[in-house]
Amino acid sequence: MKKILTLTVHDLASDGHGIARSGRDVYFIPGALPGETVVAEMLERKRKIWYCRLVSIEQVSEHRVDPSCPHYKRCGGCDLQHLEYSQQVILKQQRVARELSRQGIEIDNWDAPLIASDQQWHYRRRARLGIRYNKANQEVLVGFRESNSKHLTNIDICPVLVEHPALDWKAWRGRLAQLEGVARFTHIEVLQASERLVLVFRVLKKVTDNDRNKLQIWAAELEIDIYIRPDDEQPIAAVNEVISPLTHNVLGHNLSIHPDYFVQVNAKVNQLMVAEAKAWLAPEAGAHVWDLFAGHGNFSVPLAKDCIVDAVEVSDEMVRAIELHAEQLSSKSQSSPEKDGRGLIAHKADLSNSDSLESLPNPDYVLLDPPRAGASVCMAELIKRKAKRMVYVSCDPATLARDLKTLSEDYDVERITILDMFPHTHHIETMVLLVPASKSRQGRKIMMNDRLKTQAKKQARSQIQGLRNTKEKGASRGKSKR
Share above pLDDT 70 across residues of the chain, in percent, rounded to a whole number: 89
CB 136: neighbour CB atoms within 10 A?
5
pLDDT at 341: 74
Looking at every residue in the chain, the average pLDDT score rounds to 91
**Which secondary structure element, helix H or strand E, spans residue 168, and what is its range?**
none
Contact 372, 399 (CB under 8 A): yes
pLDDT at 332: 67
Is 383 exposed, middle or buried, given 0-12, 13-18 or 19+ CB atoms closer than 10 A? middle
Calpha distance 163→73 (Å, rounded): 22
| DSSP secondary structure, 107-152, as one string | -S--PPPB--TT-SSS-B-EEEEEEEEETTTTEEEEEPBBTTSSPB
Contact 205, 225 (CB under 8 A): no
Contact 419, 269 (CB under 8 A): yes
Q: Is the pLDDT of residue 403 over 80?
A: yes
Please indicate whether residue 395 is annotated as part of the active site: yes
* Domain 264-440 classification at class level: alpha beta
Kindly name the residue from 75, 78, 378, 395 that is annotated as catalytic: 395
Is 252 exposed, middle or buried, given 0-12, 13-18 or 19+ CB atoms closer than 10 A? exposed
Residues 18-58: tens digit of each pLDDT: 999 998 899 999 999 999 999 999 999 988 899 999 999 99
* 187 confidence band (pLDDT: 50, 70, 90): very high
Q: Is the pLDDT of residue 277 over 70?
A: yes
Contact 32, 57 (CB under 8 A): yes
Q: Which of 58, 53, 59, 56 is nearest to 28 (CA)?
A: 53
In DSSP terms, 288 is beta-bridged to: 308
For the segment(s) 126-246, the CATH number from 2.60.40.10, 2.40.50.1070, 3.20.20.70, 1.10.287.110 is 2.40.50.1070
Least confident window among 135-139, 235-239, 474-478:
474-478
Calpha distance 251→246 (Å, rounded): 17
pTM, to two decimals: 0.88
pLDDT at 47: 83
The mean per-residue pLDDT over the stretch 134-160 comes to 91
pLDDT at 474: 57
In the chain, where the domains are located? 1-64, 126-246, 264-440
What lies within 8 Å, CB to CB, of 355 at 6+ separation is none
Contact 413, 387 (CB under 8 A): no
Contact 105, 413 (CB under 8 A): yes
Q: Could you tell me how many residues make up the chain?
A: 482
Cα 192-78-426 angle, rounded to 5 deg: 105
pLDDT at 438: 83
The mean per-residue pLDDT over the stretch 249-253 comes to 96
The mean per-residue pLDDT over the stretch 408-419 comes to 97
**Which secondary structure element, helix H or strand E, spans residue 354, and what is its range?**
none
Which letter, b or e, does each residue of 302-319 get, where b requires 16 or more Cβ atoms within 10 Å of its Cβ? bbbbbbbbbbbbbbeebb
CATH fold of the domain at 1-64 = OB fold (Dihydrolipoamide Acetyltransferase, E2P) (2.40.50)
Calpha distance 123→133 (Å, rounded): 29
Cα 179-183-185 angle, rounded to 5 deg: 80
Contact 124, 162 (CB under 8 A): yes
Contact 389, 435 (CB under 8 A): yes
Calpha distance 224→300 (Å, rounded): 29
Least confident window among 197-201, 261-265, 435-439:
435-439
pLDDT at 244: 85
Q: Compare 149 and 96 and report the one with higher pLDDT.
A: 96
Angle at which helices 397-407 and 85-102 pack, to 10 degrees? 40
- How far CA 4 is from CA of 7, 38, 50, 199, in Å, comes to 10, 10, 12, 45
> One fold for both 1-64 and 126-246?
yes
Calpha distance 243→154 (Å, rounded): 30
DSSP β-ladder status, 365-368 and 308-313 = unpaired
What one-letter code names the amino acid at 480?
Answer: S
Calpha distance 440→190 (Å, rounded): 52
* 482 confidence band (pLDDT: 50, 70, 90): very low
Query: Dihedral of CA 61/67/71/76: which sign?
Result: negative
Calpha distance 135→149 (Å, rounded): 21
Q: Which of 20, 68, 58, 26 is nearest to 45 (CA)?
A: 26
